[in-house]
């Protein structure tokens, strides 16, 4: 009986002693913890036994899903010659690390912590189109939430290869892709998903610098699985950056000067074709257009696989100027006065002055009707403007016979007859000269009429060609601009 009393007392005192010891231990531990910052204790708690070389899952059969997001900040440059696009983006990704979890109540209700990126496991997600290392700032930290979500935010200057189509320059729209995928891990290890909905990603222009040459139309997304030669599948997420060039600068500096020169070439057709000023005017235009092409050659994009339509436009405009100059030279050659110019052939007169003039609504063109050339004897016939109505005055003998037949007084001495004969010969020469000059003038006027009709015909054909070409280009560029 006496032995049971100490046992009973010991059974009562032992729980009390254990409770006091536990309370003392907790108190000492709390006192020790309060001497260290909570962030330090939390960091030590997470990283003390952490293994960053192994994928952070407890079940190796469970893949790590990485959610990514891209926000385009600026389009830095578009290199058409090298087919390279340089963009500045805000890249965001998050995944769940099962070994970076804690209870916020044990650490002053801390729900997230920033820790060095080099201290934890990070997925090896790269951009397939990378061709150069951009000048991106180094962000050494990531955010970790209490349930294990790791958020990695960083800005990237992305230099990527892109198939640039410059045929529609300067009304071109480019579509370049940014493909994010794991370089090593298959889809069984790392899967990729989209952080936000595709609609939000597509129309997000909240941070885009919209004052440059390029306008952001949208960012399209596409997820797909692909496999290489082996049976392993990889996950990839594509972001299609769709941009459009603002054409105002190129319209003002390239198209308008060319249009002005072409308008001046058309106005040059109103210069008289018989004047030589038209040829010099068109040659000046041609030289000015050549200088203009030399100046703008550095502005046009150059690639080895194609030529922009605006380059074809400049070449065609140059060809039209050359054709206009050739037409002007032809017309000036036709209407140029020459001493031995041949008369206009009858078939050409009928074709041009009758049919072509009627087709162009120019009315019937006047034509000269000249008598055939007279003989030498007829050319010596002269009707004096002073009232002498003589006929067939071929020489002094005819004059003597005429005078005797009329019963006139005897003829004057022989010296006077020679003087009269010389005078008549001079008058006949003057008349012959005037007739030849008038005949050459009539020939020149005929050629001038033919040249004027042909000039109007070629001008209208040239004007139709320029208008058709211009309407076609404007229609194509308008469709590309608003498509």
| Burial class for 230, CB neighbours closer than 10 Å (0-12, 13-18, 19+) | exposed
d(CA 254, CA 284): 19
**Does 151 have pLDDT greater than 60?**
yes
| Per-residue confidence (pLDDT) for residue 154, from 0 to 100 | 93
**Confidence at residue 456, expressed as pLDDT on a 0 to 100 scale:** 83
Give the confidence band of 339 by pLDDT, cuts at 50, 70, 90: low
Nearest in space to 41 (alpha carbons), one of 104, 85, 119, 121: 104
Report pLDDT for 274: 74
User: In which band, very low, low, confident or very high, does the pLDDT at 283 lie, cut at 50, 70 and 90?
Assistant: very high
Continuous segment of H or E residues that includes residue 449: helix 414-482
Coil, strand or helix at 444: helix
Beta bridge partners of 127: 180
Stretch among 111-125, 130-144, 410-424 having the lowest mean pLDDT = 410-424
Copy the structure tokens of residue 239. 């972001």
| pLDDT of 11 | 65
Which position has the higher pLDDT, 435 or 178? 178
Q: 453 versus 468: which is more confidently predicted?
A: 468
Cis before 218 (ω within 30)? no
The whole-number average pLDDT for the span 292-301 is 83
Ordered alpha helix ranges (H), 297-395: 309-335, 346-349, 357-359, 376-379
Percent of the chain's residues with pLDDT above 70: 75
The tens digit of pLDDT for each residue in 356-394 reads 666 666 655 555 554 444 433 344 344 444 334 434 444
pLDDT at 236 over 50: yes
Q: Note the pLDDT of residue 391.
A: 41
162: pLDDT strictly greater than 90: yes
Residue with token string 């007392």: 9
Contacts (Cβ under 8 Å, ≥6 apart) of 54: 121
Nearest residue to 75 (alpha-carbon basis) of 84, 67, 62: 84
Read off the pLDDT of residues 205-224 as tens digits, 9 standing for 90 and up.
999 988 888 999 999 999 99
pTM: 0.70
Rounded to whole angstroms, the Cα distance separating 118 from 115 reads 9
Cα 318 to the chain's mean position, in Å? 18
DSSP state for residue 194 in the 8-state scheme: E
How many Å apart are CA 286 and CA 292, to the nearest integer? 10
161: which 2 tokens? Answer: 């290869």
- Label residue 284 by pLDDT band (50, 70, 90): very high
Provide the CB-side half-sphere exposure for 357 (13 A, CA).
18
Say which residues have a Cβ less than 8 Å from residue 164's Cβ, sequence separation at least 6: 78, 80, 83, 85, 174, 176, 303
Q: What is the share, in percent, of the chain residues with pLDDT greater than 90?
A: 38
Quote the pLDDT of residue 312.
85
Q: What is the pLDDT of residue 367?
A: 55
In this predicted structure, what is the pLDDT of residue 29? 47
Lookup: tokens for 232: 């392993």
Identify whether the C-beta of residue 162 lies closer than 8 Å to the C-beta of residue 293: no
Confidence at 15, pLDDT banded by 50, 70, 90: low
In this predicted structure, the answer to whether residue 404 has a pLDDT above a threshold of 70 is no
Asked if pLDDT for residue 28 goes beyond 60, the answer is no
Give the integer Cα–Cα distance in Å for 152 and 120.
12
Query: Rounded to whole angstroms, how far apart are CA atoms 401 and 380?
Result: 17
Query: For tokens 């002005």, what's the residue?
Result: 260
Q: Which residue has the higher pLDDT, 360 or 338?
A: 360
Q: What is the CA radius of gyration of the chain?
A: 50
pLDDT in tens, 37-74: 888 999 999 999 999 999 999 999 999 999 999 999 99
pLDDT band of 341, cuts 50, 70, 90: low
Write down the mean pLDDT value for the chain. 80
Query: Where is pLDDT greater, at 238 or 417?
Result: 238
Residues 6+ apart with CB under 8 A from 276: 332
Residue owning tokens 């032809």? 330
Between CA 315 and CA 9 the distance in angstroms is 114
């Amino acid at each position: 009986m006496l032995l049971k009393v100490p046992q009973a007392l010991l059974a009562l005192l032992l729980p009390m002693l254990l409770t006091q010891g536990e309370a003392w231990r907790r108190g000492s531990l709390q006192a020790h913890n309060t001497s260290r910052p909570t962030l330090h204790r939390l960091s030590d708690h997470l990283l003390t036994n952490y293994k960053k070389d192994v994928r952070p899952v407890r079940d190796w059969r469970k893949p790590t899903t990485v959610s990514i997001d891209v926000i385009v900040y600026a389009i830095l440059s578009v290199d058409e010659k090298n087919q390279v696009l340089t963009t500045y983006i805000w890249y965001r990704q998050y995944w769940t690390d099962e070994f970076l979890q804690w209870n916020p109540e044990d650490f002053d209700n801390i729900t997230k912590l920033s820790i060095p990126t080099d201290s934890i496991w990070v997925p090896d997600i790269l951009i397939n189109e990378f061709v150069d290392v951009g000048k991106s700032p180094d962000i050494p930290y990531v955010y970790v939430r209490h349930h294990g979500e790791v958020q990695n935010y960083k800005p990237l200057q992305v230099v990527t290869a892109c198939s640039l189509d410059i045929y529609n320059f300067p009304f071109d729209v480019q579509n370049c892709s940014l493909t994010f995928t794991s370089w090593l891990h298959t889809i069984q290890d790392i899967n990729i998903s989209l952080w936000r909905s595709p609609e939000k990603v597509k129309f997000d222009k909240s941070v885009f610098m919209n004052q440059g040459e390029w306008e952001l139309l949208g960012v399209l997304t596409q997820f797909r699985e692909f496999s290489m030669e082996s049976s392993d599948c990889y996950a990839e997420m594509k972001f299609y950056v769709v941009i459009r060039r603002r054409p105002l600068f190129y319209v003002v500096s390239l198209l308008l000067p060319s249009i002005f020169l072409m308008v001046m070439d058309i106005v040059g057709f109103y210069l008289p074709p018989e004047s030589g000023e038209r040829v010099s005017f068109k040659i000046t235009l041609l030289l000015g257009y050549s200088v203009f092409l030399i100046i703008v050659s550095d502005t046009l994009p150059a690639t080895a696989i194609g030529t922009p339509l605006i380059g074809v436009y400049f070449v065609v405009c140059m060809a039209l100027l050359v054709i206009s100059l050739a037409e002007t030279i032809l017309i000036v050659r036709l209407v140029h006065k020459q001493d031995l110019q041949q008369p206009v052939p009858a078939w050409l007169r009928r074709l041009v002055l009758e049919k072509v003039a009627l087709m162009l609504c120019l009315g019937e063109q006047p034509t000269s009707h000249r008598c055939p050339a007279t003989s030498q004897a007829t050319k010596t016939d002269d009707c004096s403007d002073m009232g002498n109505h003589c006929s067939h005055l071929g020489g002094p003998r005819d004059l003597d016979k005429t005078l005797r037949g009329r019963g006139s007084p005897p003829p004057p001495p022989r010296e006077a007859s020679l003087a009269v004969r010389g005078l008549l010969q001079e008058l006949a020469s003057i008349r012959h000269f005037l007739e030849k000059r008038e005949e050459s003038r009539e020939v020149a006027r005929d050629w001038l009429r033919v040249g004027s009709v042909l000039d109007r015909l070629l001008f209208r054909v040239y004007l139709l060609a320029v208008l058709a070409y211009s309407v076609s280009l404007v229609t194509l560029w308008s469709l590309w601009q608003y498509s």
